Amino acid sequence: MGGYHRGEIAVQERAGFARQAGHAHGAIGNTVPDVAVAFLADQPHLVVGGTDERGRVWATQLTGEPGFLTVPRPQTLHIGALPPPEDPLAAVLAGAGTGARAGAGGGAGSGPEPARIGMIGIEPATRRRMRMNGRAVRDGHGLRVELDQVLSNCPKYIQKRDHHPVTDQGASTSRTAVDSTELSPAQQRTLRAADTFFIATTDDRGDADASHRGGNPGFVQVVSPRLLRWPDYTGNAMFLTLGNLELNPAAGLLVPGWETGTSLHLTGSARTVWDGDEVARHPGAQRLVEFEIAAVREVAAASPLRWSAPAFSRFNPPTAG
């Protein structure tokens, strides 16, 4: 993958950040620097975004003991884990590159397809994160990802948290999944209280990206059981997420249950709201994003990790009244 695609360029120009985006482009590579190899080796989780067998975009999380993420060569990431069966991306990632349909672009006679995925390695305790996008194939009990894009992101809007693993060895036996087409009252409360979520998008060719969004509790507005809205704050000027949405509105959200290990997955479509009067009602917002929910999957006991109460980022703007 070379320079910015036309969706990213269109958003950069409309937002007035084309020049800054040009300077920022030099931060995007396709190999993992040595310092990032060590960073990944310390992580117990990785956020992943991709497309399921029905063409829906989801965001999810893979976990393992530190060391489950390795870099056997600079352009390759090995992930020593697969999602559990209840995960919305389980079938696609388990079958990636094996002849099973794996993500967008597959078809009769096309041969085994890698799963095109976006990833974030994020360490809330130090507010460090890095983003990687590439093509994944099944490799034993994990995945091998050939990387197309690698970049580090700034620490803005990351809430500081420490983690510890669950000691209950039977936690996986209580893993259950509940599906719906709209948010329950309890799920609406979860979103209104959220200070962090992750968003997965793809461009019009199916290349995936996963990104972090953070703010003070209340920054995600539940407009209705099927409609969310949140402010888009000042970022790195690349507009990788909004650029994808310019070409393909499909998107997926992951809302982690930091204290419970529950994962709330949403899939649907998103659009950028540029209306100045509307944006002005949200402190710190440069734009807004509206997300229409098509499907919901809540997985209990999805993660073996539990996290401390957050120390909120000093960059978080106040929420709208």
Give Rg (Cα) of the chain: 18
User: How many Å apart are CA 304 and CA 3, to the nearest integer?
Assistant: 38
Amino acid symbol at 245: L
Q: What is the mean pLDDT of the chain?
A: 93
- Residue position matching structure tokens 């800054």: 20
- CA angle centred on 25, ends 24 and 27, rounded to 5°: 75
- Residue position matching structure tokens 């360490």: 123
Res 99: pLDDT: 65
Question: For the chain, what is the total number of helices (H) and then of strands (E)?
Answer: 7, 17
User: How many Å apart are CA 113 and CA 40, to the nearest integer?
Assistant: 26
Q: What is the largest CA-CA distance in the chain?
A: 55
Res 320: pLDDT: 84
**How buried is residue 298: exposed, middle or buried, by Cβ count under 10 Å (0-12/13-18/19+)?**
buried
Amino acid symbol at 115: A
Q: What is the pLDDT of residues 273-319, one digit of tens each?
A: 999 999 999 999 999 999 999 999 999 999 999 999 999 999 999 99
Q: How far is CA 90 from the centre of its chain?
A: 16
The answer to whether residue 172 scores a pLDDT higher than 70 is no
State the pLDDT confidence band at 109, using cuts at 50, 70 and 90.
very low
